[in-house]
Amino acid sequence: MQTQSEPCLASLSQSGCATDTPKMKTILLLLAALFAPALSFARPPNVVVIFIDDMGYGDIGPFGATKQRTPHLDRMAKEGMKLTSFYAAPVCSVSRAQIMTGCYGARISVPGVYFPGQSSGLNQSEVTVAERLKEIGYATQMVGKWHLGDQPEFLPTRQGFDHYLGIPYSNDMLKKSAETKVPVVPLLRDEKVVELMDGEGQRRMVELYTREAVDFIGRNKEKPFFLYFAHNAVHTPIYPGAAFAGKSQNGRFGDWVEEVDWSVGQVLDTLRAQGLDRDTLVVFTSDNGPWLTKGTDGGSAGPLRGGKGSTWEGGVRVPTLAWWPGRIPAGAVNDAVAATIDLLPTFVSLAGGTVPATPVIDGRDIAPILFGQSKESAREAHYYFGNYDLRAVRQGRWKLALAPQPEGMGKTAVKTAPGLRLYDLDAEIGEQTDVAARHPEVVAKLKALADKMAAEIGGKTPAARRPAGEARDPKTLYPTVDYVPNDGKKAAAKKSSAKPVSLAQAKPGDAIVSAAAPQVGQRAFTVAVTVDTSQRDAVIVAQGGLIGHALHLKGGRVAFAVRHAADEVVEILSPAVVKGPFTVTASLAADGAMKLVVAGQEAVTGKAKGVLPRQPAEDFCVGHDNGKLVGTYAKVVALKGAVTGLAVTNP
């Protein structure tokens, strides 16, 4: 009796199941070609991930860009597959953690962005894709932006990579060198700083990275390899190489996109020249959507709504191409929902390995999608997290928004109707029309899925969140103006014993480094100050950047802002315009309760999500804001006037 797993081809031939006729041999050859991707490989495939920083859905030719030329990516799309519903995360570090671990950032306590010298990073107990592949004989190399912690225990060489060359975080995280007083970022080879790169020096970055990637391929052509090539481009500040500057029709942003395209061409051409193209899977994608508030330096989300920092489609759906000649069908387009979390299990499976049941990961093997065998998602649903908050869920064509969503980094949540919102992404990719009232059964189904996932890894009391990594005595990788190490013990003692300096004599223009500033991380605090100014808009005090707090004048009224992440800021405003000298008291309680009292006016209250999760990394500024803007002001207006009696206290 014929079994389902052993099909007879009698229906295709008059010779029953005979296989010795020319016709049957032809049929079998055709079937072998059809199902070749599902068969075992002669050798484990090489794997290359090309990961771009802040590239939007509409920034390359295969996804509709016209102002910058991307001939190599155009060819890659023609020879491979375009994935049109591929997801990353709203911000840098989360996306990179997802690629490395196959988990949503919320599961592994990577909710936002890491900063230079920060104590936290990707926990070493997490098993990365590099470690999984290394276990089965792969050579591993990381080139470019790491951004999962810059302390030695968090670096790529401690997370499964044989070698590393790159800048360990974003190219805008320049800190002043203690020696030269010039803002720089460190270039690392393995774990050693080999260069301090200033802004203009970044013009060599793409070429430097590309040369390293090409050299790695050449050195390892005889054995399987994993190359994780994560560009700092096209994150601001924009620094295209000299050979590309001024060449596009889209300003310096377009110039840098064209240089990235050149780099992709160098990698693919090297694979072809070495005869490795049919043995190598290459995935090209981005870490999040475009940084829209950067204007012409920020890129385009194409038809999608929102940008970087947002859980609208434009913030997390990214331009993605997959290329493997002879395996991935040429010129294919697949709209199945997939994501960076799916890369680890896919790569390990293709390499002949297995991903154990524990620790739990969220990704699934998407090889059937890549090989053109499926147009269905490998997962039941896709979840959109902003920090630890679950903001939306997608299943097939339907996306259920659970909460108000900001349009992008630095933008507040747009006004939407209260309650849940349902979008039909097949009918309207731009998420403008709420169809929840027409499909209550879909809303109920997706809400149930969201509730289950939120209970598991979301919010403040998740059932299955794993801890972040924590480093003792963190320090920057090179001596900086605000941290100059003497020796390890002295530096650690200096930092651990740092106490808030006296603020009573502080004046506008002063800045106090984080270690010596008032300690407001993970604790309640109160700010009190008397201000004398005739200005209607100005910064009074600002402490932090993407995490921190600020007091400022806004149209003549006093505003108190508490920021927990790039797109999570709560601001309360005094009820009336202030006149003449005025006193201000602003407090954040342990439960997140905010209170603002301006002399002579009724107290105002609000609710943040809690205390600040850590000490702000940037300076405590009086009368200005010298880093990433912590308040809701669009630009910094320095205070012209007097500040007296300034104090920050902890109850």
Q: What is the pLDDT of residue 482?
A: 67
- Give the span between the Cα atoms of 543 and 516, in whole angstroms: 12
- Closest CA relative to residue 606, chosen from 643, 559, 645, 566: 559
pLDDT tens digits, one per residue of 597-642: 998 889 999 999 889 988 887 889 999 998 778 888 877 899 999 9
Q: What is the pLDDT of residue 631?
A: 84
Identified catalytic residue from 8, 17, 72, 92:
92
Q: What is the pLDDT of residue 18?
A: 38
Portion of the chain with pLDDT greater than 70, in percent: 89
Give me the residue label for tokens 């089965």.
136
pLDDT bucket at 580, cuts 50 / 70 / 90: confident
Q: What is the pLDDT of residue 490?
A: 36
Amino acid at 465: R
Contact 543, 551 (CB under 8 A): no
Average pLDDT over residues 190-201: 96
Give me the residue label for tokens 């060819």.
75
Among the listed ranges 34-38, 75-79, 103-107, 383-387, which one has the minimum average pLDDT value? Answer: 34-38
- Give the span between the Cα atoms of 84 and 322, in whole angstroms: 11
pLDDT tens digits, one per residue of 141-158: 999 999 999 999 999 999
> Distances in Å between the alpha carbon of 267 and those of 52, 207, 456?
14, 12, 40
pLDDT tens digits, one per residue of 258-317: 999 999 999 999 999 999 999 999 999 999 999 999 999 999 999 999 999 999 999 999
Q: Residue 386 pairs with which residues in a beta bridge?
A: 389
- Give the span between the Cα atoms of 649 and 641, in whole angstroms: 23
Residue 177, classified by CB atoms within 10 Å of its CB into exposed (0-12), middle (13-18) or buried (19+), is middle
**Non-local CB neighbours of 246 within 8 Å, separated by 6+ positions:** 255
pLDDT tens digits, one per residue of 448-507: 999 999 999 999 899 999 999 999 889 999 999 865 443 333 333 333 334 445 687 889
Q: What is the pLDDT of residue 568?
A: 80
Instruction: Provide the token pair at 189.
Output: 């080879």
500-649: which CATH architecture? Answer: Sandwich (2.60)
Q: Where are the beta strands (DSSP E) in 198-276?
A: 225-230
Average pLDDT over residues 403-422: 76
pLDDT of 92 over the 70 cut:
yes
- Give the span between the Cα atoms of 284 and 291, in whole angstroms: 19
Task: Classify 223 in phi/psi space as left (phi over 0), alpha (psi -120 to 50) or beta.
Answer: beta
Q: What is the pLDDT of residue 516?
A: 80
147 catalytic residue (yes or no): yes
Sign of the dihedral through C-alpha 463, 465, 466, 472: negative
pLDDT bucket at 407, cuts 50 / 70 / 90: confident
Q: What is the pLDDT of residue 8?
A: 33
- Give the span between the Cα atoms of 475 and 273, in whole angstroms: 43
- Give the span between the Cα atoms of 363 and 346, in whole angstroms: 9
Contact 247, 258 (CB under 8 A): yes
User: Residue 296 has what DSSP assignment?
Assistant: G
Amino acid at 499: K
Amino acid at 179: E
Where are the alpha helices (H) located in 487-617, listed in sequence order?
A: 488-496
Instruction: Provide the token pair at 439.
Output: 């499909």
User: Residue 145 has what DSSP assignment?
Assistant: -
Please give the mean pLDDT across all residues of the chain.
89
Residue 14, classified by CB atoms within 10 Å of its CB into exposed (0-12), middle (13-18) or buried (19+), is exposed
pLDDT tens digits, one per residue of 526-542: 999 999 999 999 999 99
- Give the span between the Cα atoms of 378 and 342, in whole angstroms: 9
- Domain positions in the chain are 1-36, 47-380, 500-649
Q: What is the pLDDT of residue 21?
A: 43
User: Residue 324 has what DSSP assignment?
Assistant: -
Average pLDDT over residues 243-255: 97
Q: Residue 385 pairs with which residues in a beta bridge?
A: 390
Average pLDDT over residues 122-142: 97
Contact 563, 630 (CB under 8 A): yes
- Other CB atoms within 10 A of residue 485 CB: 17
Strands 139-144 and 225-230: parallel
Q: Where are the beta strands (DSSP E) in 232-386?
A: 280-286, 320-323, 332-334, 338-339, 382-386
Q: Which CATH code for domain 47-380?
A: 3.40.720.10
Q: What is the pLDDT of residue 9?
A: 28
Residue 360: cis peptide before it, omega within 30 degrees of 0: no
Identified catalytic residue from 147, 549, 564, 624:
147
pLDDT tens digits, one per residue of 17-51: 333 444 443 443 344 444 444 445 778 999 999 99
- Closest CA relative to residue 399, chosen from 85, 133, 635, 170: 85
- Give the span between the Cα atoms of 62 and 78, in whole angstroms: 9
**Non-local CB neighbours of 627 within 8 Å, separated by 6+ positions:** 544, 545, 618, 619, 621
Q: What is the pLDDT of residue 497?
A: 37
pLDDT bucket at 97, cuts 50 / 70 / 90: very high
Instruction: Provide the token pair at 361.
Output: 């990961």
pLDDT bucket at 210, cuts 50 / 70 / 90: very high
92 catalytic residue (yes or no): yes
Amino acid at 147: H
Contact 407, 431 (CB under 8 A): no
Question: What is the C-alpha end-to-end distance of the chain, expressed in Å?
Answer: 81
Q: What is the pLDDT of residue 566?
A: 67
